[in-house]
Amino acid sequence: MTSSAKTNETFTARFIDAGSKVLLELVNTTAQPLNCIEILTVFLKDEDTPGGPSRAHIRFETVKYVQPKERIVVSHRTWIDGKPADAVHDKLARLKEVAGQVRAYVLDISWEDADGKSRFQRIPVGH
């Protein structure tokens, strides 16, 4: 099963169920190579104390280069209470879209285009 967030912009994002793991796939939909692709850290709403401070967040690896039309899987790490979480406590699945629920998070993506100009895109995700 997959969940996807699509826009008419530079990147599309899709969450892929890979056994017991969830992976984030980005696709460069343009005809130009892109450099220094970064996704800002996503701070998750606390499930135990609604309205309380965020205990968990997800950090994504910076990708140096993406070819035109290339699909990449972006590495991530979940942190809980300031410590890296093990695979059992990974929270990436919370960024998957659930039908009928509001998209509670966004992937804030920045990159440099072929001309060296910084670009930015927001993709709503989550539940």
**Following CA atoms 87, 24, 106, 69 in sequence, which dihedral angle do they give, to the nearest 10 degrees?**
160
Measured distance CA(11)–CA(91) in Å, rounded: 22
Give the pTM: 0.87
- pLDDT by residue, tens only, the chain of 127 residues: 444 444 458 999 999 999 889 999 999 999 999 999 999 999 999 888 878 888 999 999 999 999 999 999 999 999 999 999 999 999 999 999 988 888 999 999 999 999 999 999 999 999 8
Question: Tokens 């017991």 label which residue?
Answer: 20
Range of the domain at 81: 2-125
Cα–Cα–Cα angle for 94, 95, 98, rounded to 5 degrees: 80
Phi and psi (nearest 5°) for 92? Answer: -60, -30
Looking up residue 71, the CATH number of its domain turns out to be 2.60.40
**Chain-centre distance of CA 70, in angstroms?**
16
Q: How many domains, the chain? A: 1
